[in-house]
Amino acid sequence: MGIMDTIRKFSEKKNMKSQKFKDMEEDYRLNKMLEDRQKSSNRRELERHFKESEEKDIKMQLDMIRKQKNKESWKGNNLMKGNSMLKDDRPILKEKNIFVDNRNDVPLTKKKEMFFKW
C-alpha cells in the first residue's frame, strides 16, 4: 500500500496547489474590480486607451524585430560564408591521386588487370 499512499499524497498536493492558485486568482480579480469601481469612467477610458496604444506599439516593435530576423536569416546564409572545399589551401588536393593512372588519366578500377588477370 506504500505506492497507493504516495500517489494519493501526490494528488492531494496537486489539488491543494491548484485550489490555492484559484483562490489567489479570484482575490486578484475581485481587487481589480474594486479598484475599477472606485475610478471614474473617464479615468477607466483613459487607461484603456493607454493600454491599447501600448499594445499596438509592442506589436509593431515585435513585427519589426521578426522582419529583421527573417531578413538576416536570408542574407546571412552560413553555408556560403564558410571555406570552400575547392580552395588550394588544403593539402589533400595537392597530393597525387592514387586511383588514376597518370599516363592516360584512366581510373585504375576500369582496368581489368587491377583485380583479375584474364
pLDDT digits (tens, 9 = 90+) for 69-111: 888 887 775 555 556 656 556 666 667 666 665 566 555 555 5
Query: Strand, helix or coil at 96?
Result: coil
Residue 109 domain flag? no
Q: Is the dihedral of CA 60, 66, 69, 74 positive or negative?
A: negative
Residue 8 domain flag? yes
CB atoms within 10 A of CB 103: 6
What range does the domain containing 13 cover? 1-38
31 shares a domain with 61: no
26 shares a domain with 45: no
20 or 81, which is more confident: 20
56 shares a domain with 32: no
Residue 53 domain flag? yes
Has residue 25 got a pLDDT over 50? yes
Closest-CA residue to 83 (of 93, 74, 98): 93
Q: What is the rounded distance in angstroms from the CA atom of residue 108 to the CA atom of residue 97?
A: 11
Amino acid occupying residue 63: D
Q: Lowest mean pLDDT: which of 39-43, 82-86, 113-117?
A: 113-117
Residue 80 domain flag? no
48 shares a domain with 33: no
